[in-house]
Amino acid sequence: MFSKDQVIRHALESIELQAVSVAALAAFANDAFAEAVHTIHHSKGRLVISGIGKSAIIAQKIVATMNSTGTPALYMHAADAIHGDLGMVQEDDVVMIISKSGESAEIKFLVPVIRNFGNPVIALCGNEHGYLAREADIWINCTVEKEACPNNLAPTTSTTAQMVMGDALAVCLLRLKGFSGKDFARYHPGGALGKKLYLRVKDLIRMNEVPVVRPGSTIREVIMEISGKRLGATAVLNEKDDLLGIITDGDIRRMLQRYADVDPLKAADILSSDPKTIDEDELAVQALELMRQHDITQLPATREGRYVGMLHLHDLVREGII
């Protein structure tokens, strides 16, 4: 049985070996790689990615990355392809086949069929002398010297290299397309990530009541407004509904520490003037950044400079922005 030190040493050896192999891939970002990127980019169809064994799993991951970054892609298992799934390959599609050796029987069967269809074939392969690299229109080299497996058998370093080169393709393509954060949000509407990309302040404050007092409001009225609207703060507006300031729970506590008799006080006496505000059309994540920057938990929201509601840090927590 291995000791903890031995386990850690073996883990570090695996990580170091894979890191070195990934760094070596820089030499393969060459003319062939650029040609593959331009072939996919200028295609009027989709990118169909295929493989067998562990390479098939990598193909699925690259397909997912392509689709989420604006390059339409389909996954086609090499074995299923030769038993009917070739019907998914359309006239304008580009086909990329992933393999370590490029010598699998399914791939040797698949490549000439696709070539006969007239579709461009890109090989993402680590064997320059293998069938796939020789027969493809474009060969992207992802050769590794050694697998992390001590027997140099189990696909480890080689599949890492395939994934890295696939990611490099996807990144180059999204840059060519001018794929923006807004585009990304369209394809990722779910979960916390999607919310950070599309959720706006107005989407949050519409669920809140709008706390408001006037400069002449009594302290009792201020406390009742803060408590009743449950946002930990209230805006102070003048008769023209201009925002004069904000009163928070913290302002109330500081008032009690400072004054022995609070009955004569009005809202105007304890408000914090010139508060930080945010336009309702700003992203919620930008509101979070403003709160963090100024160490505050409430932000008055505005529309064309006019106060329309109060955003609380709890709103951001509730939506998973934090």
Rg (CA), the chain: 30
Same domain for 8 and 64, yes or no, is yes
Whichever domain contains 50, its CATH number is 3.40.50.10490
End-to-end alpha-carbon separation of the chain, Å? 43
Same domain for 120 and 234, yes or no, is no
Same domain for 208 and 173, yes or no, is no
* Residue 195 forms part of a structural domain: no
The number of helices, as runs of H, and strands, as runs of E, in the chain is: 15, 12
**Is residue 30 pLDDT above 90, yes or no?**
yes
178, 210, 228 — which closes off a domain? 178
Same domain for 144 and 236, yes or no, is no
Q: Give the type of residue at 306.
A: R
Distance CA 108, CA 195 (A): 45
In b/e form, how buried is each residue of 175-197, taking b as 16+ CB within 10 angstroms? eeeebeeeebbeeeeeeeebbbb
Whichever domain contains 289, its CATH number is 3.10.580.10
Q: Average pLDDT, stretch 6-24?
A: 94
Q: Which residue would you say has higher pLDDT here, 210 or 192?
A: 210
Same domain for 133 and 223, yes or no, is no
Same domain for 118 and 249, yes or no, is no
143, 178, 213 — which closes off a domain? 178
**Is residue 185 pLDDT above 90, yes or no?**
no
Q: Which residue would you say has higher pLDDT here, 217 or 321?
A: 217
**Is residue 85 pLDDT above 80, yes or no?**
yes
Q: Average pLDDT, stretch 178-198?
A: 71
Q: How many CB atoms lie within 10 A of CB 300?
A: 24
- CA dist 301 to 95, 138, 204, 207, 288, Å? 50, 55, 10, 13, 13
* Residue 248 forms part of a structural domain: yes
178, 209, 241 — which closes off a domain? 178
* Residue 185 forms part of a structural domain: no
Q: Which domain holds residue 314?
A: 201-318
pTM for this model (two decimals): 0.69
User: Which pLDDT belongs to residue 183?
Assistant: 73
* Residue 272 forms part of a structural domain: yes
Tens-digit pLDDT profile for residues 219-258: 999 999 999 999 999 999 999 999 999 999 999 999 999 9
Answer whether 286's CB lies under 8 Å from 182's CB. Answer: no
**Is residue 186 pLDDT above 80, yes or no?**
no
- Residue 123 β-bridge partners: 97, 139
Nearest Cα to Cα of residue 61 among 180, 170, 136: 170
Report the mean per-residue pLDDT for the chain: 93
Same domain for 125 and 224, yes or no, is no
Number of domains in the chain: 2
User: Which pLDDT belongs to residue 1?
Assistant: 72
* Residue 187 forms part of a structural domain: no
Residue that is written with structure tokens 């049985």 in the block: 1
Same domain for 25 and 144, yes or no, is yes
**Is residue 189 pLDDT above 70, yes or no?**
no
User: Which pLDDT belongs to residue 309?
Assistant: 96
Q: Average pLDDT, stretch 199-213?
A: 94
* Residue 296 forms part of a structural domain: yes
Residue that is written with structure tokens 């729970």 in the block: 249
**Is residue 196 pLDDT above 80, yes or no?**
no
Q: Which residue would you say has higher pLDDT here, 124 or 150?
A: 124
**Is residue 97 pLDDT above 80, yes or no?**
yes
Same domain for 295 and 225, yes or no, is yes
Same domain for 83 and 222, yes or no, is no
* Residue 196 forms part of a structural domain: no
User: Which pLDDT belongs to residue 191?
Assistant: 62
Sheet holding 73-77, edge to edge: 73-77, 47-51, 94-99, 121-125, 138-141
Q: How far is CA 140 from the centre of its chain?
A: 27
Same domain for 16 and 57, yes or no, is yes
Tens-digit pLDDT profile for residues 37-61: 999 999 999 999 999 999 999 999 9
Phi and psi dihedrals of 220, rounded to 5? Answer: -60, -45
Q: Give the type of residue at 142.
A: C
Tens-digit pLDDT profile for residues 249-300: 999 999 999 999 999 999 999 999 999 999 999 999 899 999 999 999 999 9
Q: Per the structure block, which two tokens stand in for 121?
A: 């074939």
Same domain for 64 and 131, yes or no, is yes
216: left (phi over 0), alpha (psi -120 to 50) or beta: alpha
- Residue 303 β-bridge partners: 306
User: Which pLDDT belongs to residue 199?
Assistant: 86
Tens-digit pLDDT profile for residues 118-140: 999 999 999 999 999 999 999 99
* Residue 111 forms part of a structural domain: yes
